[in-house]
Chains A and B, each alone.
Chain A
Amino acid sequence: MNPRREQKIAAGVLWFFVLVTVFILLFMIFFILRKGLPVLSLSFLARNPVDMGRAGGIFSTIIGTIVLTLAAILIATPLGVGTAIYLTEYTWENRLTRVIRFGAECLAGIPSIIFGLFGFILFVTKLGFGWSILSGSLTLSFMLLPTIIRTSEEAIRSVPKDFREVSFSLGSTRWQMVTRVILPSALPGIVTGIILSVGRAIGETAAVIFTAGSALNLPTSVFSSSRTMSVHFYILAREGISLDNAYGTAAVLIIAILGINILTYSLMNKYIRKFQ
């Protein structure tokens, strides 16, 4: 086959793959929104579930999702970003850094239900936190750590070496360099990792159902059990309680994740334009 022909076929095939990918994505979103949007209303968002979710809305599960996700992010971000800073700025590459990195990679590959089981054994029973927001968010944060470490590390590494030299040569300590030069430049990348993690936390079901439980009332403290939208969707669909309300919940989930992504990327763009 001559190269020109080969090239044409390759371009055609690649274009077809892109088409399939976009089609699958749009089809899923369209399908869920079509089933879910008719259920949506202000009262669906603002009222608590009634009769196990057959009637009423999903307000308490929205709150449960927000609280659990925020708490998990608040725990995982300092741990993950701190680890990334240590690995990149405070130590040479050595056996320890390789072990840490390898451990994080392994953590990323563990199925979420195993995290759920681990969280159940450690937090719910051994430490006696019970099914609670505390147990759930701790478990979730462990799951998010690998992503946050890796994306933060990549973001920090991509800050030009020159910036480090300039910062040091202007009399900064290592910590001053990290806080005033490295982190501001790496922020867009770090935030991207955090957003990916938010998406993952919002969508997580297996790990949450084992650790945060599935109580339908509004949480009152970190020791309250709470149900997230994903768990709610799972229970509604799995137990055939109300498929309509399940799709309604799914639609809210999808819109929320889209919204978070769009909002953050536009904020990041503004930030980048202002500082870089």
Chain B
Amino acid sequence: MNDFQAITGGAEAGPSDRQLVARTLAGDADAFAQLHRRYFARVYRIALFRCRNQQDAEDIASETFVKAIAHLGSFRFQGESLFPWLSRIATNLALDQGRRASGVTLVSLDTPTADSVRALIEGIAGVDVPDPHALAERHETQEIVRAAVATLAADQAEAVLMRFGSDMPLKEIAVAMGRTEGAVKSLLHRALVNLRKALLARAGEAETFGLRRETATAQQQATDPTSTQARATEKRHGPFER
């Protein structure tokens, strides 16, 4: 992998958000459908980041657009994108509904995935590192990354979500956060440094957790007379010679 390749995405093609909002306000339902297609997935992922539960995230994403319709007439663009506003609606809904993530990772931490994340980030030689795309498709990787982002300071996490989670240009992030582009750059690179540390820490936790789980399973198998391993041990040594 080229270290500098494609860490950010491109701009939206097609009509601008301003045009689509104006057309929606004039009663053009297709224009609203375009906005919905453009942003639903991102809003869903923001909701998922906030509440870490797929059903809640689906409800919040759906409700976000209903709320947006109700308030679109009084919305005023600060930049060129509708997304920061949608993101705030989704975040507020998650908070209002008490669906904020408790900070606990809801899936079990997976040791091989954590190892792969660490190997990928650190470029560890001799370790079988999977393709980053394949790694990112694993649910466990997504959870590890979301949990790591959640450990950042609020402004750093917000910047990371907007830049890397939603491919927003720095200019738009600066407008949305009320900062200069230079300040956003600085915020983002500090966030990246902290994110790397957090990801490695999460990977370490996963490894420890996985090791404990493996040990516990092995102990359980060794003491459970019905387990395959226990039966095999008995065969070799007899029931009292473990």
Do A and B belong to a common assembly? no
Give A contacts to B, CB under 8 Å: none
